[in-house]
Amino acid sequence: MISGFTIVRNAVKLDYPIVPAIRSILDLCDEVVVNVGASEDETRDVVVAIGDPRIRVLDTVWDFSRGGGTLAFETNRAMDDEPRNGRLSRRLGRLHPGG
């Protein structure tokens, strides 16, 4: 099984194309874990509305007291939530760290 992952927060408010971003990896993965940080908009609803059973939403509250390490921490949280294939996804994430 190949798992993908991404993190997102306030995608609607920031006009981030989260739907195309997620769809772009769906055909490559058996599962996509989406770490959705508590948002001030409908980001979670937009992700769920994609309606693909391969998408698994991980609801989180991001701790911005970590400063610049917040996004790294949340990326690791999404990777670590892949119980069946965490090692492979970590390797793939490091090969393509830009997302």
What is the per-residue pLDDT across 24-63, written as a single tens digit (0 to 9) for each?
A: 999 999 999 999 999 999 999 999 999 999 999 999 998 8
- What's the pLDDT at 99? 44
pLDDT at 91 > cutoff 70: no
Question: What is the torsional sign of CA 13, 57, 38, 72?
Answer: negative
pLDDT at 96 > cutoff 50: no
Residue 46: other Cβ atoms inside 10 A: 18
pLDDT at 73 > cutoff 60: yes
Report how far apart, in Å, the C-alpha atoms of 55 and of each of 26, 69, 89 are.
Answer: 8, 25, 15
What is the average per-residue pLDDT within 72-95? 63
Residue 11 DSSP symbol? T
